Structures are given as C-alpha cells and as structure tokens.
C-alpha cells in the first residue's frame, strides 16, 4: 500500500510500453454514495491512478468546471473527514492507486499527523497540495513519509531550471507537470514550449512525469503523452460525470490509450 503501490502501478505501465491516463474526480460531486462506484468504473476503463479532489471554498488553482464541482460537493456536505471514511470503508475492494488533491487549509484543520495517519488507514497512496510551496513542505513532509504516503510535487513552466530540478528530485510517485500557465480547464491547444518543458522534466525526474491542466480530448492526451509518461485529465472527466455521459469517459480513456498504442507501434515500424 501507499507510496510503493503507486510507484509500482505506474512503473508497470511504463515497463509495458504504456502511457498513464490518470483521471481527476471531485469527491462528493454527485454524492459520496457514488464515490466508490466511480472509482471502480474509472479503474475498469483503464485508468492508471485516480486523482481525488477534496472540495474547498477557495480553490485558487481550479477553473470554472472544477470550482462548480467543488461547490456541488460542499453543498452535499462533503468534507475531508467523510471522504477518508468512505475510502477506508472501500479500501479492500479496489486495486487502483488513489492520490488525494487537497488545499492546505483542510489539512491544517484536520491536523497534519492525523491527516497522514488517516490517509494511510484509508488506503490513500499519494497526496498533492497545490498551494503548499516547496519552502513550506517541512510542515507535513515527515508525517507523510512516516505513513508511507507519496508526496507528489507540482512543477510549473514559469519556474527556473534550478527549482524544477529540486522539485523533480523531491517528488514521489510521480511529478505533476502543469502544462499551462493558468488554472485548470479545457484548452483548444497547448503552448509550443510545453514539449521542451516536458522533455526537460523527464531528464530531471527519477519518477514518472504526468502532464495535467487543459487536457480535454484524446488528441491532446496523445500529443502531450509523446513528451512525458502520461496525462492527468480533470475538467473534462468532471464535466462528463456531471452530465452522466459515462460512455464518453470510456471513449476518452480508451481512445487515449489506443492512440498511444498506435504511436508506439508506428515507432517500432519506423525504427526496427
């Protein structure tokens, strides 16, 4: 369980020449009673890991789609305690790694050490805290380490090389490469500098590099996946779940994986 489970699951994909598709969902959007059902559905669709958002009243990194999902989840009475209770109840029925994405305030309110211990008991494998700077990490890093929870770091294109090198060195499980300069949400395309940025992170990092923010279709996933180990898709998955379009989610995940497989096959044909 924990860090080792996350790292093993992602490395197995890479060693099998597969790219990683990691969907993001907002816990409590649609009700906490469907959370485990949605996790199992995404696992069956071929997801490599699931990023599970904790709703927060001031989500500074999120665009309108995920903000709206967070509001719906809060209105449903969702909080960190209830999410961890649901995850703990279902931890023996799932095999896919779970990475919690939460802002710092709910963790402070919960208690740093208590949060890390609760994550371990709930079968959480990794944690992302987007508003916690690298300089402030010591307030929770040791508690996560003591409970074998991977501390996933985010890297931004605006950061200097020295900082990216340090983030890549510190990140556990995978390195979250923010592929846009802005908040989450669907984009028509990505900046041309993204490919060189992702390739640089691949050189710096000892863990898989996953690109997130602004990935909304199989073609974008394919293009970004050429330069890293896979993608994280949030707003589009959240939007489709809210609309009840589960078959479109299956097509998005399956189409992305199929595109990567075709790309890999073509590479073998071109370079025997």
Q: Would you please indicate which residues are annotated as catalytic (active-site) residues?
A: 51, 62
Helix then strand then coil, in percent of the chain rounded to 5, is 55, 15, 35
145: three-class secondary structure by DSSP: helix
Pick the closest to residue 49 from 71, 20, 29, 76 (CA basis): 20
Question: For the chain, how far is it from start to end, CA to CA, in angstroms?
Answer: 39
Report d(CA 131, CA 166) in Å as an integer: 17
Any residues with CB less than 8 A from the CB of 161 and at least 6 apart, and which? 200
Dist CA 267 CA 11 (whole Å):
21
Torsion of CA 235, 55, 103, 68, to 10 degrees: 40
Q: How far apart are CA 103 and CA 98, in angstroms?
A: 16
**What's the CA gap between 49 and 22, in Å, rounded?**
5
CA–CA distance, 93 with 33 (Å, rounded to integer) = 15
List, in order, residues 6 or more apart from 139 with CB less than 8 Å away.
112, 132
């Amino acid at each position: 369980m924990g860090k080792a489970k996350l790292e093993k699951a992602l490395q197995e994909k890479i060693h099998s020449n597969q790219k990683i598709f990691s969907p993001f969902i907002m816990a409590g959007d649609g009700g906490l009673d469907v959370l485990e059902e949605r996790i199992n559905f995404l696992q069956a669709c071929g997801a490599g890991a699931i990023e599970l958002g904790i709703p927060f009243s001031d989500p500074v990194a999120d665009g309108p789609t995920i903000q709206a999902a967070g509001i719906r989840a809060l209105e449903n009475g969702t909080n960190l305690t209830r999410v961890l209770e649901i995850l703990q109840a279902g931890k023996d029925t799932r095999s896919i790694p779970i990475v919690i994405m939460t802002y710092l305030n709910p963790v402070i309110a919960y208690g740093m050490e208590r949060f890390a211990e609760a994550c371990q008991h709930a079968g959480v494998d990794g944690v992302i805290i987007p508003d916690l700077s690298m300089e402030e990490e010591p307030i929770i890093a040791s508690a996560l380490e003591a409970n074998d929870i991977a501390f996933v770091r985010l890297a931004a294109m605006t950061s200097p090389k020295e900082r990216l090198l340090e983030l890549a060195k510190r990140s556990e499980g995978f390195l979250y490469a923010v592929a846009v300069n802005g908040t989450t949400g669907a984009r028509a395309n990505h900046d041309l500098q993204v490919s060189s940025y992702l390739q640089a992170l691949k050189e710096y990092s000892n863990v898989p590099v996953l690109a997130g923010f602004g990935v909304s279709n199989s073609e974008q996933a394919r293009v970004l996946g050429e330069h890293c180990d896979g993608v994280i898709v949030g707003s589009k998955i959240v939007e489709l779940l809210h609309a009840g379009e589960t078959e479109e989610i299956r097509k998005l995940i399956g189409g992305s994986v199929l595109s990567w497989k075709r790309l890999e096959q073509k590479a073998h044909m071109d370079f025997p």
